[in-house]
């Protein structure tokens, strides 16, 4: 018999609002009910405790919007959810007890989370590593360590982002990471570089950059074996617009980033099929009154989802607020852009072929022609959530959309993740009344068991 777990007493953030004294019911790996604690929960799925949810998720997306990509069917994981972290993880301790669905003999279990919040698991479109490990290493062990680190901080769905490298090396990395996508550990692969501007390369190795020749773009997409979900490129480079069209036709999100593009050239890229702004404002020309550049073009077009890094380093709070108000929560995806130092202490870490020094939690390239450039972040999405609500003054519901629903919809997987609805994966995060992470459930199993005072 499959265990049925009732999470009660917390404020629950649902797609249509916040329910005080709410309830979320989990059976196996799925949510079967969500709503008020008293009486039948909103959208509850009727059926025996031992059976899966009957029927599709309530409120699921009927089909992918323009620019979204449909992910592959999720297969069972071939191994543990994550490898051991290279150092002690920051934040709450991992769960030491049994998963929510493994009580002997099944049956009912209730967990009182009064005083806390239950929100959907976070979805990160842009993350390079964590826990001392990097996706660019191209090994399952390193990738699982990075996945595990971010999962313990509430990110239950993520893309693996690569860094500019030799084309053959990137193809090998993609082939290795694609196996983890097929196993359900990752939602896909995001190629950041090498098709970016040398004038806005940031933490990418300048000598390895190249123009986006469509044949090279196709090589990387093919190497990912159907798991490529997004590629960042500079559309003003030779072959840029043709490559944007190729990506759009291939079902891969074309993201404008690390670009020296003008306003007019960015509009052309959008018309060619670009649908994402890679870490808006960062690694692109500033918004000027006579030269609006890519920022204005990307912010004003309703077809564009804008990534924002909310770590207090990449964006001033006023700039973040301006972008959030203009685009709205349905077009903003908070990301980490985290490298291997996420969840770790200060020190030196690799980022692709580059060396990074982390001091006071800020990562910068340590040597070479781009020394001093910000090199991704050490952010985790639980910190981004808390900062958005307590410092930036964003509402809880809007923050939830930007961390979960919007990126899930963009990836074409909103029928499985991104909101607390019956039939969806039991991916959720428990926060205390000060918005600090206290628990993480991934597909019905506690990764971090909640501890509320």
Residues noted as catalytic: 337
Q: Could you tell me if 257 and 192 are in contact, meaning their C-beta atoms sit under 8 angstroms apart?
A: yes
In angstroms, rounded to a whole number, what is the distance separating the alpha carbons of residues 399 and 280?
Answer: 17
In degrees and rounded to multiples of 5, residue 249 shows phi and psi of -70, -25
How many residues can be counted in the chain?
453
Give the angle subtended at the CA of 388 by the CAs of 387 and 392, to the nearest 5°: 95
- Strand, coil or helix: 270: helix
* DSSP-assigned letter for residue 43: T
In angstroms, rounded to a whole number, what is the distance separating the alpha carbons of residues 44 and 30?
Answer: 12
Closest C-alpha among 119, 239, 247 to residue 189: 247
* DSSP-assigned letter for residue 57: P
- For residue 12, whether the previous peptide bond is cis, meaning omega lies within 30 degrees of 0, is no
Provide the sign of the torsion angle of the four alpha carbons 131, 137, 138, 139, taken in this order.
negative
- Alpha carbon distances (Å) from 50 to 1, 19, 386, 442: 5, 27, 36, 19
In angstroms, rounded to a whole number, what is the distance separating the alpha carbons of residues 67 and 254?
Answer: 8
């Amino acid at each position: 018999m499959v265990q049925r777990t009732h999470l009660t007493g917390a404020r629950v953030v649902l797609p249509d609002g916040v329910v005080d004294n709410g309830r979320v019911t989990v059976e196996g790996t799925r949510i079967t009910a969500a709503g008020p604690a008293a009486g039948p929960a909103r959208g509850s799925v009727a059926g025996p405790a031992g059976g899966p949810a009957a029927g599709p998720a309530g409120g699921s997306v009927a089909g992918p919007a323009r620019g979204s990509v449909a992910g592959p069917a999720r297969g069972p994981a071939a191994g543990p959810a994550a490898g051991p972290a290279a150092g002690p993880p920051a934040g709450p301790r991992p769960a030491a007890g049994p998963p929510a669905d493994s009580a002997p003999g099944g049956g009912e279990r209730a967990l009182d989370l009064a005083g806390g919040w239950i929100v959907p698991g976070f979805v990160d479109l842009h993350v390079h590593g964590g826990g001392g490990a990097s996706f660019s290493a191209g090994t399952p062990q390193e990738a699982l360590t990075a996945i595990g680190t971010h999962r313990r901080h509430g990110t239950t769905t993520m893309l693996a982002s690569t860094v500019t490298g030799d084309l053959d090396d990137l193809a090998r990395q993609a082939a290795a990471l694609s196996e983890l996508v097929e196993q359900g550990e990752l939602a896909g692969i995001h190629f950041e570089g090498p098709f970016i501007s040398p004038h806005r390369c940031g933490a990418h190795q300048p000598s390895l950059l190249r123009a986006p020749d469509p044949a090279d773009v196709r090589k990387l997409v093919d190497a990912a074996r159907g798991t490529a979900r997004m590629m960042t490129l500079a559309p003003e480079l030779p072959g840029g617009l043709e490559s944007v069209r190729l990506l759009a036709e291939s079902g891969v999100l074309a993201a404008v980033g690390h670009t020296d593009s003008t306003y007019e050239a960015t509009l052309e890229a959008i018309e060619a099929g670009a649908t994402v702004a890679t870490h808006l404002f960062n690694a692109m020309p500033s918004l000027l009154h006579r030269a609006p550049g890519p920022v204005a073009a990307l912010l004003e077009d309703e077809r564009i989802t804008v990534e924002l890094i909310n770590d207090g380093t990449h964006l001033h709070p006023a700039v973040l607020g301006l972008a959030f108000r203009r685009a709205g929560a349905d077009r903003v995806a908070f990301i980490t852009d985290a490298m291997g130092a996420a969840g770790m202490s200060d020190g030196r870490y690799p980022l692709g072929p580059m060396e990074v020094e982390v001091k006071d939690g800020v990562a910068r390239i340590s040597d070479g022609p781009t020394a001093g450039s910000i090199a991704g972040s050490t952010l985790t999405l639980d910190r981004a959530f808390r900062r958005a609500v307590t410092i930036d003054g964003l509402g809880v519901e809007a923050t939830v959309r930007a961390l979960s629903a919007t990126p899930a919809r963009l990836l074409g997987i909103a029928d499985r993740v991104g909101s607390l609805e019956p039939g969806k994966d039991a991916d959720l995060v428990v926060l205390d009344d000060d918005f600090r992470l206290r628990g993480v459930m991934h597909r019905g199993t506690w990764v971090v068991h909640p501890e509320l005072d």
